Structure 1
Amino acid sequence: MIRNSSTVESGGSECNTFGGSSVAAGLMGCCKEFRSSWVFPTAVLSLYGFFANCRPAEPFLTPYLVGPYKNISEEQVNNYLFPIWTYSYLALLLPVFLLTDFLRYKVIIVIQGLFLVNNYILLCFAQGLTAMTFLQVNFAVVTSTEVAYFSYIYSVIPTRVYQRATGYLRSATLAGYTFGSSLGQVLVSAAGVNYFYINAVTLGIVSVAFAVSFCLPMPQRGMFFRGETDVTTPQESHSSAQASTEGTVDGTVEEEEKVTHGGWCSCKNISYAAHLLWRSFLQSYTSKKLVYWSLWWALATMGYFQIFNYIQLLWNHIEPSGSSLVYNGGVEAITTLVGAAAAFTIGHIKVTWEVWGELALGMFSAVGSVAVFLMSFTSSIWASYAGYVIFKASYMLLITITMFQIAENLSMECYALTFGINNFTAVLLQTIMTAIVVDERALGMDIVSQFIIYGSYYAAISLLFLIRGTYTACEHYCRRKMDLDQQSREHAKNEVLSSYKF
């Protein structure tokens, strides 16, 4: 009996072992399938985007620098520190854009996470103007590597889910920024936490983002640098052929469909990437319509960068942070939500943007100009907050329209290049503006005078596109009227002929 029972027990244990191994094999298979699908990299990158943009301390950077924690004067922050970020950003943007594709995105995202962690280590523990100068260069690395965040996903997922994945990634960044700004405001207003500990909390959050970045799968190829084992897929061949028939200067896709047998750093791979970059550039900027959209993108983004960078200094000037409670975090959270709602709404409004788009750019740029002038001349902090909300919502609405119009007419390679060139142009213009208006070695204007210039700048953009938009709308109206007249004449002629035959 003992032997039989042991046999039964042994058989039962064998069954359990077999059943457990099959379950484990099934789970392993499911995990492997999940990791190989487009959902896994999208989910991991969205998680990274949320934590990397969840920075509770960011809306309170200027009060932290000019307050007792760092004890740097407002003039030094305005006319010396912030211009260093602008110059460093310009110097890094183009090399980082090319390296992002060459190193296949993940490496650049990990580097961004590392420098983001280092940024808040410096803010927490480094003292003195020299350390804060290095901080600006460090943060320029963080901002210049942002191109890798959206570019990465297009190299690891199929074309059919580009739109969905882009929506998830943009939502993750907005959610992270909104949550971070709200958390910072709650910690300041409700809990009375000082700025040092808010920076320490932010350091912990961005450290999570840095850890998440290692979980991203490594792409097998870039958009331009294809590597040594790249074989063009049928989907890519179809999209390349379609792009070439719709406006590629070469008219051939044979070179793009070749298998690259050289090494990753071979002359053949680099020359292929250079040729593809040149073709993409020509395809993007030979269309007059796309040139006008890109022009607004570059001009308006330059103004947005300047206002976003210096708005805390203006608020600190209107109502010093040392003598009153600061609501910068709450305002940034509300502004992001309003801007996201405006961008979401514009996607569901049916408008012939080819006709009315440039006029819309001019009209809403005028709204932004009025908002900037309101921020410049008011002595009420709440009026300045309201002006900032209106300005940022207008910009986010228009940049959404612009990105959609450009992406709709270009292949993904061309869109990535156009995104990089437009942003580089914006930063170049920003550097020129900073060197003339802000830098202490030039005009070194005070913060109010700067915002008066920014408002005038947006007024000039508005006037330019109102004129261009009116011309486009009138041209469309005249052409439509001529077509209708021609159709009516042909119709009358056909009626005369039919009556004559009758």
Structure 2
Amino acid sequence: MELKEAFSRRGSMLMSGRGWVMPTCLLCAYGFFANLRPSEPFLTPYLLGPDKNLTEKQVFNEIYPVWTYSYLALLFPVFLATDYLRYKPVIILQGLSLIVTWFMLLYAQGTLAVQFLEFFYGISTATEVAYYAYIYSMVDSTVYQKVTSYCRTATLTGFTVGSLTGQILISVANWSLFSLNVISLICVSIAFATSWFLPMPNKSLFFHQNLKSQARKDLNAASTFKRHITEESDDLEAQMPLNRKEKSGDSQISASSNRNIHLIHVLRTLWNHFLTCYSSRTLLCWSVWWALSTCGYCQVINYTQGLWEKVAPSSHSAIYNGVVEAVSTLLGAVVVFAIGYIKISWSSWGELLLGLFSLIIAISVYIMDTIGIIWVCYVSYILFRSLYMLLITIATFQIAANLSMECYALVFGVNTFIALVLQTLITLIVVDSSGLGLDLFTQVNTFFCL
């Protein structure tokens, strides 16, 4: 018996070993092409340039805030829909929203049209959760770390290659920004086509934890019902058309009731996980830092291109946004990779390093905002972005150390939601034209305080 069980376990391991390769390769291909967007580092010059002919106030105070609002509004519904629909349909939706975004970026004109563009970009950002959650439903837990590394590397590589390609085409081949957007549209279209070939998962974290056992229950219920029907008398059988209608109506009511009960059960499970996770003081501290830093990071990323455009206008000087984005991403990826091999007691030194590097990040943002030299801005941005990637990785290690997969997804979802709430409040008060509508340099000084 023990020998038989050993062979059975070995067989399942071999099956999982074969099963994770194809979905991982497809997901990596999707992540690479979805992030291979040569025009993204030059988005602000494109919107302010002759192609769109928008003003700085329209771009920074009326258009860019729409992304923040739509991201916040969609995050929680998309989180539940991702789990309920089992990831693949949401990944397809992300690919479609990217196509709509870049198609509108090519042909949409006017403030309102570009605001709709930002809404679709908010959809693509909110649906990123499906990309990172999909693979965990397809592979064995023994290869989680490996496939996570592959998928993350694919997205970073795509962004780096896209940024470098855009810079080379502008600086060397003298291509227009419109042409870069055409290439970006082609790349996201390839990603969208790739998403259709992803296998459909049989389970998810909350709604579909074990579909196979549920299918067996349904089969047993069907066979029991069938035996019951064959044992009925002729008189009862003659009345079956009427009874079938009643049973059909009852079954529909029962199915609707079961769905409602299941949704309540899922929400109650999420709430219990939430209380359990945030009762830990250590996890709470790291989560607070996560939310504040992510809020500040997103705001700086959103408006950095505008700051560079103010310091060195693209109409009067050469711009190197693509190189800067590529170098910062590549350096961040190297730092993130190296941190996995550094032996240090994070419980003892983690908070000290967190405070030290957070101070350096704040100083780099302040220098970028106050020193009106474009190359100083570039270097400060590279330092800011690479250190943020380092710290967010350390925070990830600390938060995920003792969490189950369900709690892991919930905690990072809640942290991101809190970060977006803070970001939305700052955008409403500081950035939006309906609020204070401050100028760009004052905005970045506000982000420095975070």
- TM-score (norm: length of structure 2): 0.86
- Runs of 4+ off more than 2 Å: 33-36, 227-232, 261-265
1:374 partnered with 2:356: no
Q: Which has the higher contact order (CA 8 A, sep 6+)?
A: 2
Q: Which amino acid aligns with 1:65?
A: L
- Of 143, 146, 156, 2:125 maps to 143
Please say which structure displays the higher CA radius of gyration: 1
- Of 135, 139, 155, 1:173 maps to 155
1:63 partnered with 2:45: yes
1:338 partnered with 2:323: no
Q: Could you give the per-residue CA deviations for residues 250-273 of structure 1, whole angstroms, max 9, x where no partner exists?
A: xxxxxxxxxxx9789713432332
Q: Is the 8 A contact 2:16 2:140 kept in 1?
A: no
Q: Which amino acid aligns with 1:324?
A: S
1:451 partnered with 2:444: yes
Q: Is the 8 A contact 1:182 1:333 kept in 2?
A: yes
Distance 2:342 2:255 in 1: 49
- Of 179, 194, 202, 1:212 maps to 194
Q: Is the 8 A contact 1:104 1:218 kept in 2?
A: yes
Number of the residue aligned with 2:429: 436
Q: Could you give the per-residue CA deviations for residues 102-150 of structure 1, whole angstroms, max 9, x where no partner exists?
A: 1110000000000101111101112111210110111110101011110
Number of the residue aligned with 1:302: 295
Quote the offset at 1:227 in angstroms: 6.5
Q: Aligned residues: percent identity?
A: 50
- Of 163, 180, 183, 1:198 maps to 180
1:87 partnered with 2:69: yes
- Of 264, 268, 274, 1:271 maps to 264
- Of 311, 332, 356, 1:363 maps to 356
Number of the residue aligned with 2:234: none
The residue correspondences of 1:198-347 to structure 2 (distance < 5 A) are: 198-226=180-208, 229-231=211-213, 266-347=259-340
Distance 2:133 2:422 in 1: 24
Distance 1:410 1:432 in 2: 30
Q: Is the 8 A contact 1:34 1:40 kept in 2?
A: no
Quote the offset at 1:284 in angstroms: 1.6
Number of the residue aligned with 1:102: 84
Quote the offset at 1:278 in angstroms: 2.0
Number of the residue aligned with 1:352: 345
Structure 1 vs Structure 2 CA RMSD:
1.9
Distance 2:384 2:411 in 1: 25
Distance 2:376 2:266 in 1: 50
Q: 1:162 to 1:263 in 2, by over 3 A?
A: farther
Number of the residue aligned with 2:171: 189
Number of the residue aligned with 1:42: 24
Q: Is the 8 A contact 1:35 1:41 kept in 2?
A: no
Quote the offset at 1:35 in angstroms: 11
1:385 partnered with 2:378: yes
Q: Is the 8 A contact 1:227 1:269 kept in 2?
A: no
Q: 1:222 to 1:107 in 2, by over 3 A?
A: same
Q: Which amino acid aligns with 2:326?
A: A
Distance 1:265 1:436 in 2: 44
1:409 partnered with 2:391: no
Distance 1:287 1:42 in 2: 34
Q: Could you give the per-residue CA deviations for residues 441-480 of structure 1, whole angstroms, max 9, x where no partner exists?
A: 11111111111122222xxxxxxxxxxxxxxxxxxxxxxx
- TM-score (norm: length of structure 1): 0.77
Q: Could you give the per-residue CA deviations for residues 346-404 of structure 1, whole angstroms, max 9, x where no partner exists?
A: 22111111121111111101000110011011111000000000100110000000111
Q: Which amino acid aligns with 2:277?
A: S
Provide structure 1 residue ranges, at least 5 long, that are not aligned to the other structure. 1-32, 233-260, 458-502
Q: Could you give the per-residue CA deviations for residues 402-442 of structure 1, whole angstroms, max 9, x where no partner exists?
A: 11111111011100011110101101100011111111111
SS in 2 for 1:154: helix
Q: Could you give the per-residue CA deviations for residues 30-57 of structure 1, whole angstroms, max 9, x where no partner exists?
A: xxx7996111111110110000011101
Number of the residue aligned with 2:236: none
Q: Which amino acid aligns with 2:351?
A: E
Q: Is the 8 A contact 2:38 2:166 kept in 1?
A: yes
Distance 2:390 2:366 in 1: 20
Number of the residue aligned with 1:75: 57
What count of residue pairs does the alignment treat as equivalent? Answer: 398
Distance 2:273 2:134 in 1: 18
Q: Is the 8 A contact 2:16 2:139 kept in 1?
A: no
Q: Which amino acid aligns with 2:332?
A: G
Q: Is the 8 A contact 1:225 1:272 kept in 2?
A: no
Q: 1:34 to 1:184 in 2, by over 3 A?
A: farther
Distance 1:269 1:201 in 2: 45
Provide structure 2 residue ranges, at least 5 long, that are not aligned to the other structure. 1-14, 215-253
Distance 1:410 1:392 in 2: 27
Distance 2:257 2:359 in 1: 49
Q: Is the 8 A contact 2:328 2:386 kept in 1?
A: yes
Number of the residue aligned with 1:118: 100
Q: Which amino acid aligns with 1:117?
A: I
